[in-house]
Amino acid sequence: MTSKTTGTTPSAPITPQGQGLPEVNTLTAEDIKASLKAGFADFLARPVMSGFFGLFYAVFGILLVWCLVWLGKIWMIIPAVIGFPLVAPFAAAGLYEMSRRMQRDEGFGWSEILTVMARQRKREMGWMAFVTLFIFWVWMYQVRLWLAIILQDSSFSDFDGFLHIVFFTSQGWTFLAIGTCVGAFLSAVLFTVTVVAMPLLLEREIDFISGMLTSIRVVTENPVVMLSWAAIISVTMLLSLVPAFLGLIFTLPILGHTTWHLYQRAVAPMGE
């Protein structure tokens, strides 16, 4: 089973981009619906390979939490878990490539997908990874800053104690309110500059600045649709973290495949 996105099938795998930014299209709620349908079809077409990327991401999240506990960095667990989905767009590069090949009815195996992913280190995708990780670092740093300012006299000897202070004290509520606002802002910024840029850089030879500018244009010219998509991603990813990250095995691949198809609808094909 493969999926098709009508009117937006790329004409070549990775083709040099001409001068100027790619044209962007007007999106509607139907585009999200159709992209979700196509993304789910891609997942069903290659569930084992798609699930592998979700499993890898889930295992990494579990190891991250375990390392924080082992290091005694109890205060970092909640911000790390909440901020963890910020790096999902870069982790989904293999899923974008799978959808691109299925869209073109191209056969592929593990070697083809992993080779394409490895090549991204030498292309503009590497800079996007830097942007993503930088915003994640800013998120973690600002959490540490507000902890020091608001909860400076508190002791986090264990995870239960940390949860009690955060959720059952006035200082904790203040910390949560500020952290939520800052986190929402950083998430919105990252979503805006990466939602289209990641698949665009995978498909075309274009610099990462142009990729981010194109992504910004898609969001600003389709604010309701793209913010709706951002909300779907946020809620789905956070719910997937609840069962010990294991929900990501299914949701990350579906969201990754869907993002590819939404990108195809959002950005005009090469040559137009």
Determine the number of helices (DSSP H) and then strands (DSSP E) in the chain: 13, 2
Measured between alpha carbons, how far is 64 from 171 in angstroms, rounded to an integer?
27
HEC assignment per residue over 216-249: HHHHHHCHHHHHHHHHHHHHHHHHHHCCCCCCHH
Give the SS3 label for residue 130.
helix
SS3 category, 76: helix
Tens digit of each residue's pLDDT (9 = 90 or more) over 73-117: 777 777 777 777 667 766 788 899 999 999 999 888 888 888 887
Spatial CA neighbour of 28 closest among 192, 193, 228, 191? 228
Q: Give this prediction's pTM.
A: 0.82
Domain positions in the chain: 27-266
Between CA 162 and CA 226 the distance in angstroms is 35
pLDDT digits (tens, 9 = 90+) for 122-157: 677 778 878 888 888 888 888 888 888 887 756 666
Note the pLDDT of residue 7: 42
The overall average pLDDT reported for the chain is 83
List of the chain residues with pLDDT < 70: 1-19, 85-86, 89-90, 121-122, 153-159, 271-272
Q: Contact 27/226 with Cβ under 8 angstroms?
A: yes
